[in-house]
Structure 1
């Protein structure tokens, strides 16, 4: 595989920055960021990242609505999506799995293992 490209969609700037710095430095990822679901969808259509790390709790369009729009768009439906969420109860995990989410990473996340978590979930 050539460069690993990931799109981080999160409304919190500090989360985007920490994840971006970590993934670039530790994992050698090319990282794209978006601060809203709509911006993320548009960026995903144009840039075609290898994966998307998507926050669940966002204003305007939450992560689930964003995920559903990504899935109905032929340009983005095949991109694996990993949810970044504080909601990791077994019922939430079940619901997310039924939606077709590739995996979950709990917030707050440990930046030093984020790359390993992503590569494990994606099977890389």
Structure 2
């Protein structure tokens, strides 16, 4: 089982890489997935991040469908999932399944505050 603090799922390579690098520089173990299908493969393969930062609009498997799969899976339903989206307001059903929402463009300070406030007890303590 892969130990990750945070899984960043976004089809925009610039956003995905920037978030990943910034979080790694803060000391987090970060996994990256280019779409919901790649993220599902990681999760089905045993990755158990404390936090999933999930874009909604993606090819292959969109964020809403991935979130629904996560919540329907007994092994994964406890994962902390935060939507990171450019949509002004995600659909109510999707928003209700998420642990939080960040609106793009996001700042690193907003992401770090969210990690601490929403999922801090599940993310490994930083030295």
What TM-score, normalized to structure 2? 0.81
Structure 1 segments of 4 or more deviating over 4 A?
none
Gap runs ≥5 in structure 1: none
CA RMSD of aligned residues (A): 2.0
**How far does the alpha carbon of each residue in 1:88-107 deviate from its partner, in whole angstroms, 9 at most, with x for none?**
33xx3754442x20001111
- 1:104 alignment partner, SS class: strand
**How far does the alpha carbon of each residue in 1:20-76 deviate from its partner, in whole angstroms, 9 at most, with x for none?**
1111112x2100011110110121231111111100111232110110011112221
Gap runs ≥5 in structure 2: 122-127
Aligned counterparts of 1:104 and 1:20: Cα–Cα separation in 2:
18
The structure with the largest helix share of the pair is 1
Aligned counterparts of 1:16 and 1:68: Cα–Cα separation in 2:
21
- 1:47 alignment partner, SS class: coil
Q: How far does residue 114 in structure 1 lie from its aligned partner after superposition? A: 2.0
Aligned counterparts of 1:30 and 1:36: Cα–Cα separation in 2:
19
Aligned counterparts of 1:71 and 1:13: Cα–Cα separation in 2:
26
